[in-house]
Amino acid sequence: MENQNIEQEVMLTKEDFASDQVVKWCPGCGDHAILKAVQDIFPKLGKKKEDIVVVSGIGCSSRFPYYMNTYGFHSIHGRAAAAATGVKLANPNLSVWMITGDGDCTAIGGNHFIHACRRNIDINLILFNNRIYGMTKGQFSPCTFRGTKTKTSPQGTYEDPFNPGELAIGAKATFFARGVDINPKELSEIFWESYKHDGIAVTEVLQNCMIFSNGVHENITGKDVRDDMQVKCVHGQPLIFGKNRDKGIRLNGNQLEVVKIGENGITEKDILVHDKTTEDTGIHMMLAHMMPPHFPVAIGVIRDVKAPTFNDSLDQVIENEKANSKIHCMDDLLNSGSTWTID
Amino acid sequence: MTAKSKVVALEHVVIRFSGDSGDGMQLTGNLFSDSTAFAGNDFATFPDYPAEIRPPQGTVAGVSGFQVHFGHKPVHTTGDLCDVLVAMNPASIKANMRWLRPGTIIIFDSDSVTEKALEKAGYADDPTVDGTLADYQVVKAPISELTKEALKDFGMDNKSMLKSKNMFALGIVMYLFNRELDTVYKYFETKFKGKDQVIKANRTVLDAGYHYADTWELFTNTYRVEAADLDKGKYRNITGNIAAAWGLMAASEKSGRPLFLGSYPITPATDILAELTKYKNLNVKAYQAEDEIAGIMSSIGAAYTGCMAVTTTSGPGLSLKSEAMGLAVMTELPLVIIDVQRGGPSTGLPTKMEQSDLLQALYGRNGDAPLVVIAARSSAGCFYTAYEAARIAMEHMTPVIMLSDGSLGNGSEVFRIPKMADLPSITPPLAKANDPDYMPYRRDEKWLRREWAIPGTPGLRHRVGGLEKENGKGNLSTNPENHQLMTELREEKINRVANDIPLQEIYGDKNADLLVVSWGGTFGTVRTAVEGLMEEGKSIAHAHFDYIMPLPRNTEEVLQGHKKIVVCEINRGQFAKYLRMNFPEYKCEQFNKVMGLPFTIGELEAKFNDLLK
């Protein structure tokens, strides 16, 4: 490997962020598009290359750091959130990106995931959700739909899946967004929002595995259905969707419903206007929950609220303590308190 | 305050203060320790309290103890059999029978004897009258009543008055050892500043206890332990866990790498985490993670990012960290893992000491995953062991496990305060910014370590992880020859640490008939037992191992030339197995104990004498 680290004061391009390693994902895998979206947005972050760290767990998606020409850490199964927390606490100036999959993040890594959300550590977490274990060759994950036949559920699963959005918001994540792998431009926009957000930013990408769960998102991303099965969440805009943009999400009592504009006296004014900044998790939870066949899937930034980040809070305590303490070095500490001298 | 009775000089004394959990025995013990420091003795202390937070009152399970061992000569242990037992209730006698020797003075609150208290303690009759304590000198004093009597003019309620009865007991002990009361007065004045009435009440009770012992001539003799011949310098009292925390902070300051601790509460290691959370003023980032794995993983993340990273735990937590330790081996990052051992397996005996995590520390990982293992020998020594663990980790780019144990961690000792300038330097191999030839697994010839390239540094971007890497370049590699090479390099790198540690010392004649081998927290008792037999003229020597992986270069020479070798450890023979594996030509006998208790000097001496026959 040539040292790719030759630094020049020029505008970075996406090529600057591609490592020299051959990308070994299957042809047609959704991961390629996500990689492209990340490489697209990184030059625009305004961060120096050496100030970005990509951390991952284990699984197909977690090979990601090797394909990025940044600092990268490929950790162990499920533990990326813990490693990323350590990186960010060690140097809060770094922009930390965590790559994980549905198995890595919501099964073996579930505990670290919810606590990273709760603490609001400032990392960008991209969850590749293909609703299957790919690298171990096709076992069901916590995000596999009930009844799915897989290597380890030959009769179909008899358990219900997590919805990562509900899990994240329930665990107090201050940012949750969702995108689809076949729309890298939209993903880049979401990653930009993720970067701007202070605190944990969880983005679920509905990603297709060509081999083990091919077509699992087809009812959302298929050309014929996508306009009717995706509603784009744009802050301040009504949640209107459909090929003819004649459908919308209305809040009826304490429930969401799909309504048709122009039918039963419904006008655009009846449609719920998206507010990503509302503290209350209720509507965000309901939006994250929406699934076919009765609802479209919410795409875009669903939740983006302000709260103190864990890393800033720690740094603040450190600054306060430094300012107020009489002990400034180890010699001070060693000689403090109750001591005696023998002459 | 002159003693009427005869003053006898003693070399060393063990006192155990024992009472119900609410009786304030920890404070009493600590105050006595303070006066011991003031008297210039060497000393060590050990708190022995129940695992339960509020165990049933008056029962044996609820007994809380604090032991002080002090001497005119160097004190290596917190003591085993006690010379004086202060027992505030019948349960405290019951709980401590194991620690009495013929002639032990038992200072007992005779007011605590009620039918209920005896029943709770499991006594059918009063043990002080039924002959149970015939071998001991029982000094019965109506401590509760006399405390109330002393405070009768203070307008306090019964319960508040009885809270001070520990000070009455302390007064008696202070008299028995001819101690000045000033250190205790000083404590009252600082602790209760502004509350004159409280200060006065405590002084009154303390004085009352002292005078009672004097006036009533409770003891035929009183005792004095002359000041120890300690090196000149400034001293403090320190527990093993605090010493470990401070050692880490010292290493961080010395190396210039910020200290990061990722940890999860677990007995008996939690105090290191708790201690480090206090020093944000010294830039310590101590992070309480959601579990043991997150503790070590956050530390590995921080190590990658250039921190002097540490995780602290006890046995069950070490098990949980195994996979992550392998990651640290594979990524060749510096990491200190402190295991304050307790009784196992599983949850085992959380508040009791054991040395049974040794083989787990050495081998408890998937793959050939060598790392450095060193052990602390004493509470105060934990400072230097932690410092050394951090030095080796950073200078050799490897995880290092430091083994401590519950007795070392909670026990305290006199600690001669070092000067930072006198501690050895720590120079990690940092990669140079914009080095055009930088490669993640480029190694130096001498130590085979890779460089530490820290995120944020220009021109050193690279990727590491748990997958096997091509030596040098660091690209992913499944090449068979490369894996063979990398496995051997990881092993050789650890082996070469032997060139950077001291030679193994042997205490005594290097050709002695019996070589006693030990490691870790048993140092004090084993050394004391060996010294005892040496004084009797026995042909015995002692090798105490602080460095376990790698072993010191001269280990074989140390094992040579003895008729017998005995390896003493608080497990079923783990270090003995390790020595046999490395040096099969030497016969290692074993002396083992797994009762959750340290060795006693007596049982070691008996074993050694037996072997010397």
Encode pLDDT of A253-308 as tens digits: 999 999 999 999 999 999 999 999 999 999 999 999 999 999 999 999 999 999 99
pLDDT tens, residue by residue, B340-368? 999 999 999 999 999 999 999 999 999 99
- Residues B82, B185 within the same domain: yes
B185 and B256 in a single domain? The answer is no
- Whichever domain contains B527, its CATH number is 3.40.50.920
Among positive and negative, which fits the CA dihedral A342, B1, B2, B8?
negative
Instruction: Grade residue A10 by pLDDT with cuts at 50, 70 and 90.
Output: low
A145 touches chain B (CB under 8 A): no
Q: State whether B302 and A322 contact (CB < 8 Å).
A: no
Is omega for the bond preceding A293 within 30 degrees of 0, making it cis? yes
For residues B16 and B141, membership in a common domain is answered with yes
Which of A167, A161, A126 is closest to A140 using CA atoms?
A: A161
Q: Using 50, 70 and 90 to split pLDDT, how confident is the model at A5?
A: low
pLDDT one-digit tens code per residue, A196-246: 999 999 999 999 999 999 999 999 999 999 999 999 999 999 999 999 999
Please, which residues have CB within 8 angstroms of residue B63's CB and are 6 or more apart in sequence? B18, B19, B20, B21, B50, B91, B92, B94, B95, B96
Write out residues 73-102 of A within 8 Å (CB-CB) of B. Answer: 73-76, 79, 81-91, 93-94
Q: What's the mean pLDDT when you consider all of chain B?
A: 96
CB contact under 8 A, A82 and B434: no
User: How do the domains of chain A map onto residue ranges?
Assistant: 14-237+275-318, 238-273
Which candidate, B177, B182, B168, places its Cα nearest to that of B210? B168
Tell which residue, B248, B267, B269, has the closest CA to residue B385: B248
B259 and B200 within one domain: no
Q: Is A4 on the interface with B (CB under 8 A)?
A: yes
| pLDDT greater than 80 at residue B577 | yes
The residue of chain A with its CA nearest to that of B322 is: A76
Phi, psi at B275, each rounded to 5°? -65, -45
Residue-level pLDDT at B48? 85
pLDDT band (50, 70, 90) for residue A316? very high
Question: CB B327 to CB A75 under 8 A?
Answer: yes
Contact B462 A21 (CB under 8 A): no
**Beta-carbon pairs below 8 A across chains A and B:** 221
Q: Of B281, B307, B419, which is closest to A90 when you measure between CB atoms?
A: B307
State how far residue A29 is from chain B, nearest Cα, in angstroms. 21
Q: Which residue of A has its CA nearest to B439?
A: A3
Of B224, B247, B264, which marks where a domain is finished?
Answer: B224
Interface test with A, best of B191, B280, B387 (most A CBs within 10 A): B280
Q: Which residue of B lies nearest to A325 if distances are taken between CA atoms?
A: B281
User: What does residue B444 show for φ and ψ, rounded to 5 degrees?
Assistant: -85, 150
Average pLDDT over residues B554-570: 98
Is there a single domain that holds both residue B215 and residue B309? no
Contact of A314 with chain B, judged by CB distance below 8 Å, is answered with yes
* CATH dotted code for A14-237+275-318: 3.40.50.970
Assign residue B115 the CATH number of its domain: 3.40.920.10
**Shared domain check, B250 and B204:** no
Q: Find the closest chain A residue to B325 by CA distance.
A: A76
Find the CB nearest A90 among B232, B305, B464: B305
CB–CB of B500/B486 below 8 Å?
no
Number of domains in chain B: 3
B372: domain CATH number? 3.40.50.970
**B140 with B244, same domain?**
no
Same domain, B391 and B329: yes
| pLDDT exceeds cutoff 60 at A143 | yes
Q: How far apart are the first and last CA of chain B?
A: 51
- Domain hosting residue B164, numbered range: 6-224
A114 pLDDT tier (thresholds 50, 70, 90) = very high
Question: For testing the chain B interface, which of A71, A93, A321 should be mutated: the one with the most B CBs within 10 Å?
Answer: A71
pLDDT band at B574 (very low <50, low <70, confident <90, very high): very high
Tokens of B101: 């020797």
pLDDT above 70 for A2: no
Average pLDDT in the B556-565 region?
98
Query: Tens digit of pLDDT for each residue in B383-404?
Result: 999 999 999 999 999 999 999 9
Nearest CA in chain A to B187: A338
**Chain A residues touching B418 at Cβ < 8 A:** 334
Tens digit of pLDDT for each residue in B272-303?
A: 999 999 999 999 999 999 999 999 999 999 99
**What residues are paired with B591 via a beta bridge?**
B568
Instruction: Flag if A333 and B300 touch (Cβ within 8 Å).
Output: no
The answer to whether the beta carbons of residues B197 and B154 sit under 8 Å apart is: yes
- Mutation target for A interface from B462, B470, B478: give the one with most A CBs within 10 A: B462
B59 with B101, same domain? Answer: yes
- Asked if B264 and B129 sit in the same domain, the reply is no
The verdict on a CB contact (< 8 Å) between B301 and A55 is yes
Neighbours of B287 (CB within 10 A): 26
Claim to verify: residue B213 and residue B125 sit in the same structural domain: yes
- What's the pLDDT band for A15 if we cut at 50, 70, 90? confident
Nearest chain B Cα distance for residue A263, angstroms: 51
| Residue B179 counted as domain residue | yes
DSSP type of residue B430: B
Q: What's the one-letter identity of residue A98?
A: M
Contact (CB, 8 A) for B276 and B284: yes
Q: Are residues B112 and B242 in the same domain?
A: no
Which range in B31-35, B104-108, B215-219 is most confidently predicted, on average pLDDT? Answer: B104-108
Q: Which residues on chain A are in Cβ contact (under 8 Å) with B307?
A: 90
Confidence of residue A7 (pLDDT cuts 50, 70, 90): low
The answer to whether residues B100 and B82 touch, using CB atoms and an 8 Å cutoff, is yes
**Chain segment B63-105, per-residue pLDDT in tens:** 999 999 999 999 999 998 999 999 999 999 999 999 999 999 9
Rounded Cα distance between A327 and A39, Å, is: 46
Q: What is the pLDDT of residue A16?
A: 87
pLDDT of res. A6 = 54
Mention every residue, 6+ apart, whose C-beta is less than 8 A from residue A268.
Answer: A238, A240, A248, A261
Which residue in B280, B297, B464 is closest to A79 by CB distance?
Answer: B297
A329–B282 C-beta distance less than 8 A:
yes
Classify residue B428: in a domain, yes or no: no
Q: Which residues of A touch B302 (CB under 8 A)?
A: 86-87, 89-90
- DSSP-derived secondary structure letter, A16: G
Contact between residue B77 and residue B19 where contact means Cβ atoms under 8 Å apart: no
Tokens of residue A55, six digits: 């951390």
Q: H or E segment at B300? A: helix B292-304
Judged by CB atoms closer than 8 Å, whether chains meet at B294 and A318 is answered as no
pLDDT digits (tens, 9 = 90+) for B227-271: 998 999 999 999 999 999 999 999 999 999 999 999 999 999 999
Which residue has 């601790």 as its token pair? Answer: B261
For residue B171, being part of any structural domain is answered with yes
pLDDT in tens, A156-185: 999 999 999 999 999 999 999 999 999 999
pLDDT over 90, % of chain B: 95
CB nearest A335 (choices: B283, B293, B417): B417
Whether the per-residue pLDDT at A13 is higher than 60: the answer is: yes
Say whether pLDDT at B152 is over 90: yes
Residues of chain B with Cβ-Cβ distance to A68 below 8 Å are 463
Tell me which chain B residues have a C-beta less than 8 angstroms from the C-beta of A87.
301-302, 304-305, 455
- Are A330 and B285 an interchain contact pair (Cβ–Cβ within 8 Å)? no
Nearest to A76 among B280, B324, B437 (CB): B324
Report the mean per-residue pLDDT for chain A. Answer: 95
Contact criterion met (CB < 8 Å) for A337 and B438: no
Backbone angles phi, psi at B350, to 5 degrees: -60, -30
Contact B339, B373 (CB under 8 A): no
Q: Which two tokens stand for residue B190?
A: 């600082």
In one-letter notation, the amino acid at residue A127 is: L
Q: Is the pLDDT of residue B190 over 70?
A: yes
Q: What is the pLDDT of residue B1?
A: 43
- A:232-251 residues touching chain B, CB 8 A cutoff: none
What pLDDT, in 10s, does the model give residues B29-72? 999 999 999 899 999 999 988 778 888 999 999 999 999 999 99
